[in-house]
Amino acid sequence: MTIRVLFFAYLRERCGAERRLELPEGASVGEALGRLREQYPVLADASLRVALNRVYVDNADPLHDNDELALIPPVSGGSPSAGTEKPTPCT
Amino acid sequence: MYVITSDPIDLAAVMADVAHPGAGGLALFVGTTRDENDGRRVERLEYEAYDDMAASEMAAIGAEIRRRWPVLGVAMVHRIGVVPVEEASVAIAVAAPHREEAFAACRYGIDTLKAQVPIWKKEHYADGTRWIGACQAQHEHAAQRDEGRG
């Protein structure tokens, strides 16, 4: 199967805005991320959320042909406050 | 309305969108671009969105607000592209029967938007740029580091 992969913000500047990725049938989000990390070292230490067809998902979710997988770097944030996620610190 | 736009935000239109005869109050939060961050002078800000998802995530936050508070109207607008200093980059309006729920819902709306709506901010300084939110060490002077790392 083939999926579309979208990159945003600093990842877009490093990886390009969009690409296609061939995967075996039944591959998961996590497997797709593994393939991408092999090809883009910048992803290895990136703090990411992943959206599948415009909905946040987990690595275990299955992929299907023509899916749209978006790699979401930490969003613009602003001052953290109670109940909101804080940016992942650098390692 | 849940809108991503590259045009200046029309605050009167945002307020008009939530106006309701049963409302006793309307809370409006407007996020504006600041000329300084972490001691560096910001010349301009640039926003990028995953447009389709950003609009649907804002609508989902609006639906959650309606579940939590007896509000009469919710509107969210985020501007993308270059936003000059002092101008509005985001606006959230909530109309409710009483001010307590209007303030609470509006606060929840902006806090949640900033945590989960896929919109990114790039600060432009006299001597460089920086994506906010991403780990600074990962992308500042990224090109040079990449060359060094191979």
Query: Which of A56, A76, A84 faces B132 most closely, judged by CB atoms?
Result: A76
Q: Where are the beta strands (DSSP E) in chain A?
A: 2-7, 18-22, 49-52, 55-57, 68-72
Backbone φ and ψ for B110, nearest 5 degrees, come out as: -70, -40
Q: Which two tokens stand for residue A82?
A: 């109670």
Residues A9, B117: C-beta atoms closer than 8 Å: no
Tokens 């309307």: give the residue. B26
pLDDT tens-digit series, residues B5-40: 999 999 999 999 999 999 999 999 999 998 988 888
CB count within 10 Å of CB B30 equals 16
> CA nearest A89 in B: which residue?
B135
DSSP character at residue A42:
G
pLDDT tens-digit series, residues B58-68: 999 999 999 99
Residues A76, B47: C-beta atoms closer than 8 Å: yes
Q: What share of chain A is helix, strand, coil (3-state, %, to 5)?
A: 25, 25, 50
Interface test with B, best of A4, A18, A48, A76 (most B CBs within 10 A): A76
Element (H, E) at B67: helix B51-68
Q: Chain A partners of B142 at a C-beta cutoff of 8 Å?
A: 10, 13-14, 42
Q: Is this complex scored with an ipTM above 0.85?
A: no
Count of helix runs (H) and strand runs (E) in chain A: 2, 5
Q: Which two tokens stand for residue A22?
A: 């061939």
| CB-CB contact of A8 with B48 (8 Å) | yes
Indicate the pLDDT class of residue B71, thresholds 50, 70 and 90.
very high
pTM, whole model, 2 decimals?
A: 0.84
Residue B48 has pLDDT above 70, yes or no: yes
**CA distance linking residue A10 with residue A7, whole number of Å:** 8
Residues A73, B111: C-beta atoms closer than 8 Å: no
Indicate the pLDDT class of residue A84, thresholds 50, 70 and 90.
very low
Residue A87 has pLDDT above 50, yes or no: no
Indicate the pLDDT class of residue B134, thresholds 50, 70 and 90.
low
Q: Give the pairing of strands B2-5 and B73-79.
A: parallel
Backbone φ and ψ for B63, nearest 5 degrees, come out as: -65, -40
Strand order of the β-sheet with B2-5 is B2-5, B73-79, B88-96, B25-32
**CA distance linking residue A77 with residue B117, whole number of Å:** 9
